[in-house]
A and B are shown apart, each in its own frame.
Chain A
Amino acid sequence: MSKKLLLVAASLGLALLTACAIISPEASFARTHPEKLGAGRPTCSECHGTEAVKSTQKTFAALDHTAAFVKDHKVQASQDSATCASCHAQSFCSDCHGGKTVMTPSTKLGNRPDREMPHRAGYLTMHRIEGKIDPTGCYKCHGRANNEKCSACHK
């Protein structure tokens, strides 16, 4: 694709974005949660009930931080990043989802066992087992980035 075409597409996109932002009747989602949350995983629907999250049309219950949500939140994070951002800074995501990491998440947050971070000290043994049972689980993070350590052995 030529650079001119990309430039035109980018300009059109920016113009569309500005126009939508000006004419839209909907105010943007709150950038910060107005109240401080307690310790532990929040259950959004406890306070918000069955109402829908403003501007996303989903119930707050769909965002309750249940055990299942914590383990698999990719669709919600993909569709509702503005909602996530009202409580979580981008660095919270980077604790696990960095392109290149310097230590395992469980080492960095060794004082937070409640977050159940992956890859504990003994994981080097376990990865030989889990990697055979489900290598697609490894691929999600190590398939295209952050694989410098993997390639030391898997040449």
Chain B
Amino acid sequence: MKHRTHVALLAVLVSGAAWGQDVSVYSTTIAQMWKSDIPGFDKTATYTPATEFLGIDANKLGTDALSLHLYGWGRTDLKDQSAIGGKTAGDLTYGYLQYAFDRANAQVKAGRFTINQGVGNEMVDGVYAYTDLLDGWNVTAFAGKPVVYKNLGNVPQASISFQRDYTFGTRLGYRIKRMGEIGLSYLQDGSTPAMDLPIPETLDFTRRQLGADLSLAPCSFIDVTGRTVFDVSRRQQAEHSTRIAESDYRVGVKIMDGLRFNGSFTDRDFLYYYTGSTLPNLFDMNERGKFKAVGGNLTWTAVANLQLVADVRRTNRDEYGTATRAGLDARYNLAAQHVLAGVGYHKVNAFNVALVDSTTPSHSLSHSEARAWVMAERGAFSASLDAIRLHYSGASTNPNLIGKSIESQLVGSVGYQANEGLKVSADLSYADTPLYKKQAMGLVRIEYRFGFAAKGGK
């Protein structure tokens, strides 16, 4: 879509919000300032970006069923350029009209939206529809132009845009009474694979995927969720391959009141999982091998406001080796005093991850992570403190760590809720890391909400 069309469409949508009988506006303005001491970069630079996030939900546009939803951001650098691509940037994250029927959870969306259904997890400029059917069936469909982001790498942008000319997808779901839901889905992104171009190209940005997903709770104390994704493009197939890009499943078991176990299993085949990547030099579409992970966690709600979680996850990447992450987390919620707090410690044993480049046959990626945080509210005032400390085992051999084994960061924040719709907060953070030798950052945040704004995950 052309830039002028974007602006015109946005102007129409924003003015359309004025028709809403129930309008919410939420704005977050963030002014930052930081200096960094990074080897090889300008230490005298001062970065002062100002960023505005703006969202509008306009409901009851003439009818209770019609609503408009907009969200986006814009950034400008007041001094030195803080990010790649220029001193100003912006994006319309989503902007769509929605018609929600009173029955069958049916809804239609038109505009820019994120679709998340079965295999489709896409940003689309187009239309979307969902409805429950009779006897437990439901159907989703979407079609439009995929939102293609600028790529600054060596990949030709024109080729990405040409191949990804349109996208569509559908999912058919079936709900089993008092048990859950299973579904089958299909996604196509782009109509002209690289091999079919007049002059065939090596990099294929199109995708055709088929997926099966489930979320079942056969009894009150067990639930299973997960999905399997198949690559059904005409792309080259590896020998003895099933074309399964991903299998990702989790099972939850309620052992007793307050004690719950979750187990997970993940299996991804790089050749198919990376299909359509617009960053092929990092996510190599021709990489052979698999990534597998098996994990579990035990969550114990010791008393009503204290939750303890022990977790372990063992991963294996065929080409590199195995790693194990294990640790403990605790969260404390003292609602009456408006205090939330948490501590955690994790150790990653990755001595067996062999890497790496021509000069380093292998080095340890093992490390430990300790974290503690607390949030508190007193009347209109709020404060939080968040500290993290990482200890790397392979500092002497891992060139990425530049000989430094400790990394730490501290973030403190204070806030003042001036009235129901206005909150001002300020963060100060200090980090000492192998890459950033030292980084101090200040941030002022102004959050403004107008309207009923009942949602938003506060």
Contact = CB atoms under 8 A, between A and B. Distances in A.
A90 B149 contact: no
A150 interface: yes
Contacts of A47: none
Contacts of B282: 135, 138, 142, 147, 150-151, 154
Contacts of A145: 123, 147, 149, 278
Interface in A52-74: 52, 55-59, 61-62, 66-68, 72, 74
Contacts of B20: none
Interface in B166-181: 173, 175-181
A133 interface: yes
Interface string B350-394: 100101100000000101000001110000001011101010100
A77 to B, nearest CB: 6
Given A39-B333, A89-B455, A133 B353 contact: yes
A143 interface: yes
A8 interface: no
A75 B213 contact: yes
B271 interface: no
Nearest to B433: A122
A100 B91 contact: yes
Interface in A6-59: 6, 9-10, 13-14, 16-18, 20-29, 31-33, 36, 38-40, 50, 52, 55-59
Contacts of A76: 215, 225
Interface string B423-438: 0010101010111100
A118 interface: no
Contact of B149 (A102, A114, A126, A147): A147
A29 B131 CA distance: 12
A88 B453 CA distance: 10
Interface string B299-312: 10000000101010
B85 interface: yes
Contact of A135 (B30, B283, B311, B388): B283
Given A78-B116, A110-B413, 17 more contacts: A17-B130, A21-B131, A62-B252, A66-B299, A67-B299, A72-B264, A76-B215, A79-B215, A113-B342, A121-B429, A122-B408, A125-B435, A135-B317, A138-B282, A145-B147, A147-B278, A148-B84
16 contacts: A61-B220, A62-B225, A68-B262, A75-B214, A98-B91, A99-B149, A102-B89, A121-B433, A125-B407, A129-B348, A129-B392, A132-B320, A134-B291, A134-B293, A144-B279, A148-B85
Interface of A: 1, 6, 9-10, 13-14, 16-18, 20-29, 31-33, 36, 38-40, 50, 52, 55-59, 61-62, 66-68, 72, 74-79, 81-82, 85, 87-95, 97-100, 102-103, 107-108, 110-114, 120-122, 124-126, 128-129, 132-136, 138-139, 142-152, 154-155
Interface of B: 26, 28, 30, 32, 51, 53, 55, 57, 69, 71, 73, 75, 83-85, 89, 91, 93-94, 100-108, 114, 116-118, 121, 123, 127, 129-134, 136, 139, 141, 143, 147, 149-155, 173, 175-181, 183, 191, 213-215, 217, 220, 223, 225-227, 250, 252, 254, 260, 262, 264, 268, 270, 273-274, 276-279, 281-283, 291, 293, 297, 299, 307, 309, 311, 315, 317, 320, 323, 329, 331, 333, 335, 338, 340, 342, 348, 350, 353, 355-356, 365, 367, 373-375, 382, 384-386, 388, 390, 392, 400-401, 407-409, 411, 413, 415, 425, 427, 429, 431, 433-436, 439, 441, 443, 445, 453-457
